[in-house]
Amino acid sequence: MLIYTINRLLQLIPVVFVLTVVVFGFVHALPGDLIDAMGGTESIDDPEVRAALEKELGLDQPIVVQYWLWLEKVVQGDFGNSLITRRPVATELLERIPATAYLAVVGIGLSLLIAIPLGTIAAVRRNSITDYTAQITSLIGISIPEFWFAILSILVFSLYFNLLPSSGYVGPGEDFGLSIWYLILPAVAIGFRQAAYTTRLTRSSMLDEIGKDYVITHRSLGLSERKVIYKYTLRNALIPTITISGLQFANLLGGTVVLETIFSWPGIGLTIYQAIQLRDYPVIQAGILFLGFMVVIINLLVDLLYRVLNPRVGTGT
């Protein structure tokens, strides 16, 4: 396990390398040079100012050196200043993390809460009406674009029935009841796709498990069906389900850009969206790097967790 962990950590190096190169290259792929990009809408014409800025930003160095200097700063948490607010990017992002984390965790929790029972029942009552309903619903669920679902839910629950707020955010620390009120629509919108995926996954891994010999053994021992299913089979079927849900969590983070924009949810996703609109490149860079890095970490943790839950998996790389 220790060797596996070390190996897995070493594998992170190239991943983070690709991630940082792409994010670093992004700014350099823009038309004009970095100084124009930094100036935003104002153009900097004075050659002396340009030269001074070039020196300050290290633009007179070869690109590899520039990358290295940038990386050094990033490792220290220095992403530069926002071009719009002139505040450090890291501070801006840190303020936005709780909202995204809150939304993502509740969203995925909600999806597991719906999907695991639904997938299990569908597998246990295979080829029944329940099973078909679950299958069709989940297939439709993965085909609906999140933002359309979000728009329709705003239309129905906020505009027609006036039940829930259509946008906004209240932190759970400020007023818990109110924060849940604001959270319902975004969390459902972000969770339903996951729920659809996870239902399909739970169903198929349950069916896998139900066919195994140990289930027959338990049944022949005279254990009640409920005990066989819920105590033994489900527990094993959940290993792949939880693992893949963990990996899906990464996708969910990527999806926050759209959903946070629709619901004006002040998280990382909305920050990235606004930065794209305002051409605030350091914020785009930092935001995407941050989300990408989170994904890498989550994938690592999920992999390690999988090994712990399922020690039979060989420890080869």
Partner 1 sequence: MTDLQLRSRHRTDRVAADETPFRIHMRRLRSNIGNAFYELRKSRTASIGAILIACLMVIVVFGQSLATHDPIKSNYRDRTAPPSAEHIMGTDKFGRDIYSRVIIGGQRTILISMAAVAFGLAIGIPVGICSGFYGGRFDSIIMRVTDGFLAFPGLLLYLLIVTVAREWKLYGFWNDAILVFALGLAFWPEVARLARGTALVEAKKEYVEAAQVMGERSFLIAMGQILPNCVSPLIVNATVRLGYMILIIAALSYLGLGTPPPTPDWGSDLRAAQDHLESHPMIAVFPGLAICFSVLAFNLFGDGLRDILDPRLAER
Give residues in contact with partner 1 (CB under 8 A). 11, 14-19, 22-23, 26, 29-31, 139-140, 142-148, 151-152, 154-155, 159, 203-204, 207-208, 250-255, 257-258, 261, 272-273, 276-277, 279, 284, 288, 291-292, 295-296, 299
- How near is the Cβ of 175 to partner 1 at its closest, in Å? 27
Which lies closer to partner 1 via its Cβ, residue 179 or residue 274? 274
Please choose, from the candidates 264, 236, 301, 223, the residue with its C-alpha nearest in 3D space to the C-alpha of residue 96: 264
- How near is the Cβ of 90 to partner 1 at its closest, in Å? 18
Please choose, from the candidates 67, 91, 83, 61, the residue with its C-alpha nearest in 3D space to the C-alpha of residue 17: 67
What's the rounded Cα separation, in Å, for the pair 74 and 77? Answer: 5
Which lies closer to partner 1 via its Cβ, residue 90 or residue 294? 294
Which lies closer to partner 1 via its Cβ, residue 105 or residue 144? 144
- How near is the Cβ of 17 to partner 1 at its closest, in Å? 7
Which lies closer to partner 1 via its Cβ, residue 54 or residue 208? 208
- How near is the Cβ of 86 to partner 1 at its closest, in Å? 21
Which lies closer to partner 1 via its Cβ, residue 66 or residue 179? 66
Which lies closer to partner 1 via its Cβ, residue 211 or residue 311? 211
- How near is the Cβ of 138 to partner 1 at its closest, in Å? 10
- How near is the Cβ of 249 to partner 1 at its closest, in Å? 9
- How near is the Cβ of 32 to partner 1 at its closest, in Å? 8
What's the rounded Cα separation, in Å, for the pair 218 and 241? Answer: 22
What's the rounded Cα separation, in Å, for the pair 38 and 281? Answer: 8
Main-chain phi, psi angles of 81, to 5 degrees: -105, 150
Which lies closer to partner 1 via its Cβ, residue 80 or residue 255? 255
- How near is the Cβ of 153 to partner 1 at its closest, in Å? 11
Which lies closer to partner 1 via its Cβ, residue 51 or residue 301? 301
